[in-house]
Structure 1
Amino acid sequence: MQVIFIYGPPAAGKLTVAKIVAEATGFALFHNHLIVDAVASIFPFGSENFVRLREKFWIETMEAAASEDRSFIFTYLPENSVRPDFPSRVQDLVEAVGGKITFVHLTLSQDGQLDRIANADRAEFGKLRDIEILRANFDQFESAARDMPPADVVIDTEVTSAKNAAKLITSKLNEIAPG
């Protein structure tokens, strides 16, 4: 079992890159907003029930995938409504079944985020699209990202296309594939 855990700031291209990697690898794509949007349809973002249910559904889905040896890609925005140990707990549950997790950090400058945040393709899911909310949260996004486990791959999506980013990720997977 392999898990590709793609994380980065808003508008870094996590889902865009993940879709290309999923196509190349055949791994299931379990992107952040599948659960976030479902839970947010009932509970306000950041509320106690939102936070509890989001994490419960993320973890239980990943545990079920691990129990069936199903590889997947997960996209994630480090932010302060998620417990800081969440990524490490995902790593522990994957490694407990003999799986391998690859942490991929997509980076994008604050100016790059501001340029992309209102893009129309971000409306498909309940993604952050408000420039003022983005600006107000730059510091907490960066702080939460510092709590992540060390990245196996770091890609600056300001200068790397989604297609090339996906190639870098799949190349890394080929290097570390379980034998």
Structure 2
Amino acid sequence: MHVVFIHGPAASGKHTIGTHVAEVLGIPLFHNHLAVDAALALFEFGSPGFRRLRAAIWSAAFAEAAAAGRSFVFTFHPEASVDPALIESLTESVRAHGGEMVFVELLCSPEAIAQRLDQPSRRRFGKLTDVALYRSIERAGGFAFPPLPPPSLRIDTEAHTPEQSAALIVALLHKTG
């Protein structure tokens, strides 16, 4: 059982690449906005209720999938409203059932992020699309997050297409078994 944990900044291609990886491997994509959107239905972003509900959804999903031996792709944008201890808890939940977390970091320049934020595909998911708001959140420390576990792979999404990026991830998984 593997969790392909794809993380990177907004508009770095997490969902697009994750979709390709999931399709090639025949496993589900558990896009972080599934939990975010559920929590937003009841609570304001970043509020204590929002944070608890999002964490509970992620925790339950990881635990149930690990217990069932169900591999999946997960996307994550490191940001300040997430308790950093949650990542270790999710990892331990997977490892407790003999699974493995495979961390993949996507890299993207601030200029490319600004160009990509307003893409129609982002609007469809209710994602952040306003460059001025993004920069304001960034200046206020909203994307501050301690380092995640060392990635098994780093991909510059400006140098690789989503399909090429997905192929790199799939190749990595085939090497690691």
Fold agreement, TM-score > 0.5? yes
**CA positional deviation for 1:142:** 5.7
* Structure-2 residue corresponding to 1:77: 77
Contact 1:78 1:141 in 2 (8 A): no
Query: How far, CA to CA, are the matches of 1:4 and 1:141 in structure 2?
Result: 25
Which stretch has the larger CA shift, 130-139 or 48-57? 130-139
Cα–Cα, structure 1 residues 141 and 20, in superposed 2: closer, same or farther, change >3 Å? farther
Counting only pairs closer than 5 Å after superposition, residues 1-179 of structure 1 correspond to structure 2 as 1-138=1-138, 140=141, 143-144=144-145, 146-177=146-177
Query: How far, CA to CA, are the matches of 1:91 and 1:42 in structure 2?
Result: 27
**CA positional deviation for 1:126:** 2.0
Which stretch has the larger CA shift, 87-96 or 153-162? 87-96
Contact 1:79 1:141 in 2 (8 A): yes
Where structure 1 has 5 or more consecutive residues not aligned to the other structure, the ranges are none
Deviations 1:26-83 (A, max 9, x none): 1111000011012112211001100000000110111011111100110000000001
What TM-score do the two structures reach when normalised by structure 2? Answer: 0.95
Alignment-mate amino acid for residue 3 of structure 1: V
Contact 2:91 2:101 in 1 (8 A): yes
Contact 1:9 1:141 in 2 (8 A): no
Alignment-mate amino acid for residue 28 of structure 2: A
Deviations 1:123-155 (A, max 9, x none): 1112111111211233536631x4211111100
What TM-score do the two structures reach when normalised by structure 1? Answer: 0.94
Which stretch has the larger CA shift, 70-79 or 121-130? 121-130
- Partner of 2:171, secondary structure, is helix
Moved over 4 A (4+): none
Q: Over aligned residue pairs, what C-alpha RMSD do you find?
A: 1.2
Query: How far, CA to CA, are the matches of 1:22 and 1:45 in structure 2?
Result: 28
Deviations 1:81-108 (A, max 9, x none): 0011222221111111111110000011
Q: How many residues align?
A: 176
Alignment-mate amino acid for residue 143 of structure 1: A
Query: How far, CA to CA, are the matches of 2:148 and 2:80 in structure 1?
Result: 12
- Partner of 2:93, secondary structure, is helix
Alignment-mate amino acid for residue 87 of structure 2: P
- Partner of 2:74, secondary structure, is strand
Contact 1:18 1:73 in 2 (8 A): yes
